[in-house]
Amino acid sequence: MSVLGAPTAKEKKYDRQLRLWGAGGQEALERAHILLINATAAGTETLKNLVLPGIGRFTIIDDAVVKDEDLGSNFFLDDSSIGLPRAKKACELLCELNPDVQGDYIDDNITNLIQSSPEKLEDFTTIIVTGDVPVSTILSLDSLLYPTDIPVFVLKCVGFTMTCRLALSEHTIVESHPESTVDLRLLKPFAELVALYEEKAANMDDKEKMSTHDHGHIPYVIILLKALDDWRSTHNGNVPSNYREKNEFKSFLRGKMWNADEENFEEAIAAVLPYFNPPSIPSATREIFEDEKCDKLVSGSSDFWIIARAIKEFTYNMNDGLLPLPGALPDMKAESKDYIRLQNVYKSKARTDLASVMGVVRTLLPGLGRDPNSISESDVETFCKHAGYAKLLRGRSLKDEYEDSPKVKTISNELSDPTSLIHYYLGLRAYEMFISEESNSGHVPPGTEDSTAESDAEKLDQYVKMLLDKLNITHSAELLEGTSKAVREIVRVGGGELHNISSLAGGLVAQEIIKVITKQYIPMNNTVVFDGISSRSQVYEL
C-alpha cells in the first residue's frame, strides 16, 4: 500500500541528523569524497563517523599490512585481516556500515602518490592525514591543496594524546546555528512597528481608558517602545545607553506597573539588558562586508559572496545601516491576537527586506554573466535571517605554522603555564620530527623499543629545544617541565594507539569535518589538542 507523503527509507535512516543539519547539509555530505591517508585506529574511527551519516564516497590510501597490534586498537580490522593490505581490509569493513556509501582503497603510500600523480588529489573534497607521515610529505600536501580550498585535517593520535589541525584558506558559514536570531529593533523601530505601538500603548498610563486586564496583557515589546518614547521626552531625546541608565530605566518601567504581578512588565524589565543595544553590525559580519571578495565580485564568485554583497548594499544604501530583519519574535505574555499581530509586523518587515535584497541579487547577477534567477530566494532568505551571525574564516596554511609565520606569541605565552596543553602540541611536533629523520626511513615511532625509550625521549627533548630556538622563544628547564612530561607520556606508548582515545578523536575530527562540509556551525579554528589523562581539550590558532 502506498503511503502518502511518506519519507523515503533514506530520510528515515537519517532522520535524527536531518534535524541538526537539514536537507541542505545532507546533500553536501552526499557530494563529499573523502581521502583518508593511513587506516590507523583514529583514521578509521573518523571515517566510521562519516560513513554512518552518509557521505558520498571515501578512499583510503595506505601501504601497511595488518599486524597483530592493529587488532587491539582498530575496530575495522579483524583476525582474518592479518597480513593483508590494511587499506583494503579497513575499506571492506567500513563499507559494511552503510550500503549507500562507496568505498575505495589505494594500496600505496601518500608520498608516492604525491610524486607520481599529484593531480589526483584534487578529486577529493576533504583530506584526512593520520599515522606516521613525515613532515616533508605533510608540507607538500599543504602546498598542493591549500590554494585549492580543499580542506586538510591533520590528525595525530598517540596513546592518551591527540591533536587535530585544520588547514583551509577560506571558509564561509551562513547557517552558524546561533542560539537565537531575535532582533527586536527597539532602539530603531521601523514605521509599521511605530504605528502599532502608538495604537496599542496610547492609554498605557491611563486607568480610565484601559482595563487592568488589558494593561496586564500589553506585549512587552510594545511596553518598551512606549516607555522609551516617554523616556526620550525627558532625556533630551536620548535613550538609556549605559548600565546605570538602563537600571534607571528599569525602575521607570516598574513605576508604570499597576500591580505587582504584571508578568508582561516583568518581561519588559528583563528584556532591557539583552535587547537595549544600539543597532550595529556585528564584527564578524563587518569582516565579510569589508573583505575584498565582497567588494570585487567576479564571474566565478560564489553565491555566498554575491548575496553578502547584496546584503551589504541593502544595509548601507537602502536600510539606514541596518541589516535585514530576521523576523523572529520570542514568546511573550500577551493576548493571542495581539501576539499574532505583532509577529506579523516583524514577519512582514522581514519579507520586505528580503524582497529588496533579492532585487539587488538579481541586478548583480547579469553583470557576472549569470542568469538573474540563478540564486534561489530561499538561499537569500537564509542569509538574510543569519546576516548578523554569518562568519568568514580565513585559515592558515601548515607552511605558515611551520615556516613562514609561526605563532610565536601564542606558544611562548602558553609555555609558562605548566597545565597548558601546548606542551602536548610541542611533544607531538617533536614526535613528528623524530619519525621524519632521514636516518629513520621506516618512520619508526620513538619508544618502540623499551631499551631505547629514555634515549628517544631525550632526543625529543632536543627537538623541542630546536623548535623553540628556531622560533626565538627563550626556554629553561623549568619552563620545559610540562613539555618534558608530555614527551615521556608520548614516548611511553611507542606510537601505539589506545582505542577509546582514537575513538574519541575520530568523533571530534569527524564532527569538525561535518561542520566544514555542510558549511554549518562554526568549526574549531584551527588546532584542537586533547589530553585523555586529564580529559581536557584546548583550541589554538597556530
Query: Which residues between 248 and 307 bind other proteins (CB under 8 A)?
Result: 263
Q: What are phi and psi of 433, to 5 degrees?
A: -65, -40
Between CA 435 and CA 425 the distance in angstroms is 16
Of the residues 82, 95, 210, 473, which one makes contact with other proteins according to CB under 8 A: 82
Q: Which stretch binds other proteins (CB under 8 A): 112-120, 200-208, 251-259, 332-340?
A: 332-340
Q: What type of residue is 331?
A: D
Residue 418 in the binding site for other proteins (CB under 8 A) = no
CB atoms within 10 A of CB 225: 23
Of the residues 25, 45, 105, 487, which one makes contact with other proteins according to CB under 8 A: 45
Kindly report whether the peptide bond that precedes residue 109 is cis, defined as omega within 30 degrees of 0: no
Of the residues 202, 273, 340, 466, which one makes contact with other proteins according to CB under 8 A: 340
Minimum Å distance from CB 36 to other proteins? 16
Residue 79 in the binding site for other proteins (CB under 8 A) = yes
- Residue whose entry in the numeric block shows the C-alpha cell 546605570: 244
Of the residues 99, 278, 300, 369, which one makes contact with other proteins according to CB under 8 A: 99
Of the residues 59, 429, 497, 519, which one makes contact with other proteins according to CB under 8 A: 497
Residue 493 in the binding site for other proteins (CB under 8 A) = yes
Residue 190 in the binding site for other proteins (CB under 8 A) = no
Of the residues 145, 166, 268, 332, which one makes contact with other proteins according to CB under 8 A: 332
Q: Is 529 helix (H, G, I), strand (E, B) or coil?
A: strand
CB atoms within 10 A of CB 335: 14
Minimum Å distance from CB 33 to other proteins? 19
Of the residues 59, 73, 315, 483, which one makes contact with other proteins according to CB under 8 A: 73
Residue 538 in the binding site for other proteins (CB under 8 A) = yes
Residue closer to other proteins (CB basis): 240 or 523: 523
Of the residues 48, 200, 312, 349, which one makes contact with other proteins according to CB under 8 A: 48
Interacting residues with other proteins between 378 and 417 (CB under 8 A) = none
Q: What CA dihedral angle connects 531, 536, 541 and 542, to 10 degrees? A: -20
Between CA 96 and CA 101 the distance in angstroms is 9
Minimum Å distance from CB 294 to other proteins? 22
Residue 451 in the binding site for other proteins (CB under 8 A) = no
Q: What are phi and psi of 381, to 5 degrees?
A: -65, -45
Residue 97 in the binding site for other proteins (CB under 8 A) = yes
Minimum Å distance from CB 217 to other proteins? 7
- Residue whose entry in the numeric block shows the C-alpha cell 608516492: 112
Residue 430 β-bridge partners? none
Question: How far apart, in Å, do the first and last CA atoms of the chain sit?
Answer: 58
Q: Which stretch binds other proteins (CB under 8 A): 121-129, 190-198, 397-405, 516-524?
A: 516-524
Interacting residues with other proteins between 132 and 171 (CB under 8 A) = 159-160
Angle at 444 between CA 438 and CA 449, to 5 degrees: 125
Of the residues 31, 67, 207, 409, which one makes contact with other proteins according to CB under 8 A: 67
- Listed residue (536, 522, 456) closest to 173, CA to CA: 522
- Determine the distance from the C-alpha atom of residue 395 to the mean position of all C-alpha atoms in its chain, rounded to a whole number: 12
- Listed residue (311, 126, 80, 528) closest to 92, CA to CA: 80
Contact (CB, 8 A) for 196 and 222? yes
Minimum Å distance from CB 76 to other proteins? 9
Minimum Å distance from CB 52 to other proteins? 4
